[in-house]
Amino acid sequence: MRQHVNPLSSFYQVERDLSPLGELFLDPNLPLHLDIGCARGRFLLAMAPQQPQRNHLGLEIRRPLVQLAEADRERLGLGNLRFLFCNANISLERWLANLPPGCLDLVSIQYPDPWFKTRHHKRRMVQPALIEALAGAMAPGRQLFIQSDVPAVINQMLEAVESSAAFEPLDGGAWLQENPLGLATEREWQVLDKGLPVYRRLYQRQGRCASGDQALHNPSAEKSLAERSARP
């Protein structure tokens, strides 16, 4: 069962200072993988030793899960992995703006809390402002991976990504049959074990026009309503 916290409550609306890379990682010059909404962190705890060529940072709004994940990381002695507590929609933008150019190599957002009730949709993590902040910190060619098992949630995520006009799909506009990261989250294993579908998309940060102030044309942002209605 998912354990929710209300990201709009006053406690989670406080911006929290996130440590710079030099205080987080043994080698802060490695490319960075940012996993937003990392939950208990087992996905990154498995990935970090498999991909030592990257630093991996997990962000999570549920502090107890961060504390458990950090305890495991310390026990394993993983210098290329850290977990931080924050509300990404409040605390991440300023931190991203201060990253060294070209540092952010990969962003993954996997199985965010669905908040099924219509009046709670504004609590969903993936909002256009978050995608814009990520795009501003990513160099052309860097990748954004999103997935969910809830059709309404993945469709909202697609809307936010495509409306930014900063990303182009690397999956031909179709759902990925396999996870391109090669490791499944706990939620993903639960869904697959039940034989239920997973909706995955992989995007690449687009380049910019010569003027440097306008994103390149993004055909995926101009899909018709009829095409959108064909999604799950």
Task: Identify the pLDDT of residue 91.
Answer: 86
In the block, tokens 């064909």 appear at 230
User: Which tens digits make up the pLDDT trace of 2-51?
Assistant: 456 555 445 445 667 789 999 999 999 999 999 999 989 999 999 999 99
| pLDDT (0 to 100) of residue 89 | 80
Q: 3.40.50.150, 3.40.1360.10, 3.40.640.10, 3.40.1390.10: which CATH number matches 87-229?
A: 3.40.50.150
Give residue limits of the domains in the chain: 87-229
132-155 b/e (C-beta count within 10 Å ≥ 16 → b): ebbbebbeeebbbbbbbbbebbbb
Q: Is 140 left (phi over 0), alpha (psi -120 to 50) or beta?
A: beta
Q: Residue 230 and residue 64: Cα distance in Å, rounded?
A: 39
**Choosing from 27, 35, 72, 113, which is the catalytic residue?**
113
Convert 175-186 to b/e letters by CB count within 10 Å (16 or more is b).
Answer: ebeebebeebbe
User: Does the active-site annotation cover 17?
Assistant: no
What residues in the chain have per-residue pLDDT under 50?
1-2, 8-9, 11-12, 115-123, 209-232
Confirm if 176 and 108 have CB atoms less than 8 A apart: no
Task: Please give the pLDDT value at position 208.
Answer: 58
